[in-house]
Structure 1
Amino acid sequence: MLLDNLWWPLLATISLFVCYKDITKRTISNRVVFFVMSICGVLNCQYGVFESVLYAIGILCVGFIFFNLNIIAAGDVKLLSVFSLAIAPQYLPLTLFIITLLGSLLGVAYYLYAKCTDYKKIMENGVPYGVPICLGCLFGIAASL
């Protein structure tokens, strides 16, 4: 199938775009999330990881609670939930661990950077958590196939 040869470069390109926008603007657009959802939905159907839909819904629900508690941004929650559609359930804990590890390292780096520059401005903008989400999910998707 043609998608077998195109899915990885396409998802990687979209992920680079998401990382760029998250770092520079701190936004992840709904259009990009919908595009990722379309690709991951096709991968879900193609590789038969249908139970991932339940996990994606669970991530969305828990993420909504975290969003209301100002722990994570809504775009990050939506991005993680749609990426999880293409991740086999046995690799989801590893994927979440990688995201947490990379996010923690990024958070520490941003904190140190903020201490050396304009602390208030840097901390006000938050951490671009779309970067570890993209990297971790790409790994999880690759492991799932």
Structure 2
Amino acid sequence: MFETIALAAYVGLVLFAAFSDASRLIIPNWVSIALTAIFPVAALIAGAPLLEVGLHLVFAFGVLALGFILFQFNIIGGGDAKLLAAVSVWTGFTAFMPFILWTAIAGGVMALALLTARSFIPVGTYPAFVDHLLKKQNGIPYGVAIMIGALMAIPSLPYLSSPLTLP
């Protein structure tokens, strides 16, 4: 039962982060904090050893450090770096590759689509929600790609895959 609640929280938070990033190019800090805070509780209730929970947190800290380096070079946004780390605490090392692979694929497709659209569709054509994405000075809402990677990685997550198992 609790694993299903944890899964719903995980999905809800990454969906909210993607929507927020797509609509305002901002991922609120509380989303990444909540994702990170829920993991140890969910993992311990699911029977994870305390050491393994700690290793997940250390791994996520490494992802956060790498994300901040990418942020310093203006490659990704600060919210993207924090969201990557928050999802990484759930993936740990074992499920990180499916997560980051799906994130990279989705991000590449999304960036290509947005850059193409920005070349052909004039600003002012669509409602403000969509129109701000067409402005060339705005960044790419990479939180959407992170959300796709986070959702596609669910079957590989060590402590969330059992609610998806059919009897």
> Where on the TM-score scale, by shorter chain, does this alignment land: which range?
0.7 to 0.9
Q: 2: CA distance between counterparts of 1:95 and 1:5?
A: 20
Equivalent in 71, 74, 79 of residue 83 of structure 2: 79
Query: Does the Cα contact within 8 Å between 2:114 and 2:134 map onto a contact in 1?
Result: no
Match for 1:136: what amino acid?
G
Equivalent in 84, 100, 105 of residue 104 of structure 2: 100
Query: Does the Cα contact within 8 Å between 2:95 and 2:156 map onto a contact in 1?
Result: yes
Q: Classify the secondary structure of the residue corresponding to 2:100.
A: helix
Unaligned runs of 5+ in 1: none
Q: Under a length normalisation based on structure 2, what TM-score does the superposition of the two structures give?
A: 0.77
Match for 1:9: what amino acid?
A
CA positional deviation for 1:139: 2.8
CA positional deviation for 1:118: 4.0
Q: 2: CA distance between counterparts of 1:42 and 1:142?
A: 19
Q: Under a length normalisation based on structure 1, what TM-score does the superposition of the two structures give?
A: 0.88
Q: Structure 1, residues 98-136: CA drift from partner, whole Å, max 9, x if none?
A: 111110000001011101124796231111100111221
Computing the radius of gyration from Cα coordinates, the structure with the larger value is 2
Match of 1:115 in 2: 119
Instruction: Answer 1 or 2: which has greater helix percent.
Output: 1
Match of 2:155 in 1: 142
Report 1:57-76 matches (<5 A): 57-76=61-80
How many residues are treated as equivalent by the alignment? 144
Query: Does the Cα contact within 8 Å between 1:98 and 1:136 map onto a contact in 2?
Result: yes
Unaligned runs of 5+ in 2: 124-132, 159-167
